[in-house]
């Protein structure tokens, strides 16, 4: 899952398409489930926008990120859950070998390994696990180059990620 990649040259910067009926129903179901059984360490900020969720992430006790809070932004595409949501950290982002200073996250389940069976809760648990297993607070080796290539609001979903670090 290490972060060597090539940024794709095409960039689509159009506004998001409205959610399909299937996506709306699925998200409403996930929202109810979250309210009944929220994942430990996460707090969903109230909003009227079903297409964008903002979630506080609390670092797990006993980890490098204990007592720290970060914010995730989850944007749902028209055809969620058949298509993965875009998930980024809102700056200031955690210093982590798989999180870029622009908030983009190198985690395979957000891209190539996405499954419609996954939920926002399962994404959150995976991200907390990724943070918790880190042994060093550092930016990815190619942070500066990657961030420079992602100007103008480019989505992390437009990146060709190369996942080969299975330690984190």
Instruction: Just list the catalytic residues.
Output: 106
The structure tokens listed for 12 are 């689509």
DSSP 8-state class, residue 108: G
Question: Rounded to an integer, what is the distance from CA 22 to the centroid of its chain?
Answer: 21
Q: Which of 82, 86, 97, 126 is nearest to 1 (CA)?
A: 97
Residues in the chain: 168
Distance between CA atoms of 60 and 133, rounded to whole angstroms? 10
- HSE (side-chain half, CA atoms, 13 Å) at 126: 16
Q: Are 98 and 106 in contact (CB under 8 A)?
A: yes
């Amino acid at each position: 899952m290490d972060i060597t990649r090539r940024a794709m040259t095409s960039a689509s910067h159009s506004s998001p398409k409205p959610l399909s009926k299937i996506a709306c129903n699925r998200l409403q179901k996930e929202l109810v489930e979250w309210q009944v059984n929220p994942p430990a360490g996460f707090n969903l900020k109230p909003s009227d926008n079903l297409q964008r969720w903002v979630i506080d992430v609390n670092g797990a006790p006993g980890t490098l990120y204990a007592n720290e809070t970060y914010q995730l932004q989850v944007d749902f595409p028209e055809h969620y859950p058949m298509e993965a949501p875009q998930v980024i950290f809102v700056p200031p982002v955690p210093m982590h070998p798989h999180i870029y200073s622009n908030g983009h996250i190198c985690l395979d389940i957000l891209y190539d390994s996405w499954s419609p069976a996954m939920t926002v809760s399962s994404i959150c648990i995976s991200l907390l696990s990724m943070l918790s297993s880190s042994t060093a607070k550092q930016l990815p080796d190619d942070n500066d180059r990657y961030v420079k290539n992602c100007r103008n609001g480019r989505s992390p979903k437009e990146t060709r990620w190369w996942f080969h670090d299975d330690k984190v």
